């Protein structure tokens, strides 16, 4: 039977199927089909091979885009339907690849997709969070790539970015990403049913996290998530409603203003027979007395890997699927559930946004102001307007220069400060490291009477003829000469600062440096670093004033 369905998927699916499937909308605390108003409960599986969702931050990490593998989709979808799958979660996709065939196969099988916006090396880091042009461009490229498919339910702007008590400041940067992803979807005229949410681990700050992402401090610019994903592994084996704390979660989320669901579930600890024998007894409860509050869940995960969570193994050189015993258990459990649903026409949302959590010993991030929206045009305008710019693209050499300049005078670095606890953000905090360093170097150069030796830094910097295009004037004016103001949010993709308008110039020498940004590096903590005194000594050779 599976082979017959696979053949049908490979031979009979047309690209139009993802245009015909009814999209899913968020309305109050629930998801609904837009064609008939019936409630949508997630019966999903995490679908990404050889990938750790909260793993490597290295830019060298690789992954396989599951939505670009039409053969793999055709192989797996018939088995997914055996466990009643109606949604998959993918953790990283390549926006440059073609996803039409796989998305059409999924739509033909009535399967929806929720996609994370990051990728290894390009996501908001828990211990050194930023929200900058590189991240923004990655996120909107994923949105651009997937928005046309009506079987895309939405996106996660972050996954487990706050995993310990000392990482709560990172939430501000993810909330800013939620704001800008939603703003981008709206500015591009993409369908309004595309949602943006956050997925959290079951951490001690989970209540503050839930309130933080659902609160709405700015009525003119929405920062509220559209849905909340919980990665929950507290029901192990034959647990129960009380022992697993499922009841506590239902009580807490009973007045939550947006849909909540299990973005990952399926504990493998203490299972009789081992990890591949999960009984999935939580299914009866999740789709039973929890459905007034929770909208189902997504089992972790489809492919067997080194972590032993897989439901299936691939055999015959990845041509065939071999289910494990817990695949059968999950199928049996899901076959018996019949969630009590609510029709959209009979439902009136009553829950309002919660108050934002106060900063204190357990919570570090203020909800307003948030990091400014990254604006590539602003960053390019700034770099062109400088008299001292950074010419080197060797990001590994930047950290010492950052430390040296900021230790010399912290005001030189105010333009890219980012303090989530006080809500103090420099106007250029959304620029990439190369442009931020250029700003600091220029401030240092001006502060040292524009001495030629004050714009060198062992050859990393160069003087240039500063230029400001007419299209840049208002942006740079908003940020100001100290770099502490805030420019308007971009509504479309950033463009080159010099693409339009007539430039005005100030005296210096050399051509404008490149404004392309290299990869990330860590140069500090919450603000912009704790500047080591040893860096001053190591950098003295860079400058002879």
**Ramachandran assignment for 233, one of left (phi > 0), alpha (psi -120 to 50 degrees), beta (any other):** alpha
Active site residue 160: yes
DSSP letter at 192?
Answer: T
Which residues lie below 8 Å from residue 131, measured CB to CB, with a gap of 6+? 124, 173, 176, 177, 180, 371, 374, 429, 430
Task: For residues 195 and 192, give the distance between their C-alpha atoms in angstroms, rounded to a whole number.
Answer: 8
Q: Give the chain's end-to-end CA distance (angstroms, integer).
A: 79
Task: For residues 198 and 175, give the distance between their C-alpha atoms in angstroms, rounded to a whole number.
Answer: 9
- Report the candidate in 540, 535, 543, 542 with the shortest Cα–Cα distance to residue 400: 535
Beta strands 227-232 and 195-201, pairing class = parallel
Catalytic residue among 25, 160, 208, 301: 160
Helix, strand or coil, per DSSP, at residue 82: helix
Burial of residue 470, with CB atoms counted within 10 A of its CB: 0-12 exposed, 13-18 middle, 19 or more buried: exposed
- Report the candidate in 181, 4, 146 with the shortest Cα–Cα distance to residue 68: 146
Instruction: Answer whether 231's CB lies under 8 Å from 264's CB.
Output: yes
Helices 2-12 & 70-82 angle (0-180, nearest 10): 140
Task: Write out the two tokens for 68.
Answer: 């670009």
| Beta strand segments in 208-331, E | 227-232, 260-265, 294-299, 312-315, 320-323
Instruction: Answer whether 95's CB lies under 8 Å from 127's CB.
Output: no
Angle at 288 between CA 284 and CA 289, to 5 degrees: 130
Angle at 465 between CA 463 and CA 471, to 5 degrees: 130
DSSP letter at 485?
Answer: S
Task: For residues 311 and 306, give the distance between their C-alpha atoms in angstroms, rounded to a whole number.
Answer: 13
Task: For residues 262 and 384, give the distance between their C-alpha atoms in angstroms, rounded to a whole number.
Answer: 47
Instruction: Answer whether 84's CB lies under 8 Å from 331's CB.
Output: yes
- Token pair 């996501």: residue: 123
Instruction: Answer whether 524's CB lies under 8 Å from 402's CB.
Output: yes
Catalytic residue among 119, 264, 282, 301: 264
Catalytic residue IDs:
160, 264
């Amino acid at each position: 039977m599976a082979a017959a369905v696979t053949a049908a998927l490979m031979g009979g699916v047309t690209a139009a199927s993802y245009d015909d499937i009814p999209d899913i909308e968020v309305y109050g605390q629930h998801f609904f089909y837009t064609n008939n108003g019936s409630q949508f409960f997630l019966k999903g599986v995490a679908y990404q091979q050889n990938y750790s969702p909260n793993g490597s931050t290295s830019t060298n990490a690789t992954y396989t885009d599951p939505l670009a593998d039409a053969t793999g989709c055709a192989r797996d979808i018939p088995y997914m339907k055996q466990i009643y799958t109606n949604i998959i979660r993918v953790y990283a996709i390549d926006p440059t690849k073609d996803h039409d065939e796989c998305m059409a196969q999924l739509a033909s099988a009535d399967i929806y997709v929720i996609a994370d916006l990051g990728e290894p090396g390009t996501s908001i880091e828990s211990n050194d969070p930023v929200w900058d042009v590189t991240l923004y461009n990655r996120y909107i490229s994923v949105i651009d790539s997937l928005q046309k498919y009506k079987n895309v339910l939405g996106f996660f702007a972050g996954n487990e970015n706050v995993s310990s008590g000392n990482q709560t400041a990172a939430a501000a940067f993810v909330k800013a990403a939620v704001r800008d992803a939603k703003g981008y979807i709206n500015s591009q005229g993409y369908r309004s049913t595309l949602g943006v949410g956050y997925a959290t681990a079951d951490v001690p700050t989970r209540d503050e996290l839930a309130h933080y992402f659902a609160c709405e401090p700015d009525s003119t610019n929405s920062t509220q998530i559209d849905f909340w994903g919980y990665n929950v592994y507290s029901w192990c084996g034959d647990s129960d409603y009380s022992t697993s704390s499922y009841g506590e979660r239902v009580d807490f989320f009973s007045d939550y203003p947006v849909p909540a669901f299990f973005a990952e579930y399926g504990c493998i600890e203490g299972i009789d027979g081992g990890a591949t024998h999960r009984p999935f007894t939580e299914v009866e409860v999740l789709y039973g007395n929890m459905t007034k509050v929770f909208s189902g869940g997504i089992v972790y995960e489809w492919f067997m890997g080194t972590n032993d969570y897989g439901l299936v193994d691939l055999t015959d050189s990845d041509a065939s699927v071999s289910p494990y015993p817990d695949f059968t258990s999950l199928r049996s459990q899901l076959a018996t559930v019949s969630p009590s649903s609510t029709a959209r026409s009979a439902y009136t949302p009553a829950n309002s946004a919660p108050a934002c959590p106060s900063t204190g010993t357990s919570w570090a991030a203020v909800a307003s102001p948030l990091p400014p929206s990254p604006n590539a045009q602003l960053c390019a305008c700034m770099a062109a307007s400088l008299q001292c710019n950074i010419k080197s693209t060797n990001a590994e050499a930047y950290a010492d220069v950052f430390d040296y300049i900021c230790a010399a005078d912290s005001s030189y670095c105010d333009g890219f400060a980012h303090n989530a606890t006080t809500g103090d953000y420099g106007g250029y905090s959304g620029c990439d490291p190369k442009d931020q360093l250029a700003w600091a170097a220029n401030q240092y150069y001006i502060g040292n009477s524009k001495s030629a030796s004050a714009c060198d830094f062992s050859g990393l910097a160069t003087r240039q003829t500063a230029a400001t295009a007419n299209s840049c004037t208002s942006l740079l004016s908003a940020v100001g000469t100290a770099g502490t103001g805030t420019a308007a949010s971009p509504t479309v993709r950033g463009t080159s600062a010099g693409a339009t308008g007539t430039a005005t110039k100030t005296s210096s020498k050399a051509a404008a440096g490149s404004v392309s940004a290299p990869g990330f590096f860590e140069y500090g903590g919450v603000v912009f670093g704790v500047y080591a005194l040893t860096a001053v000594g190591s950098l003295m050779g860079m400058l002879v004033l």
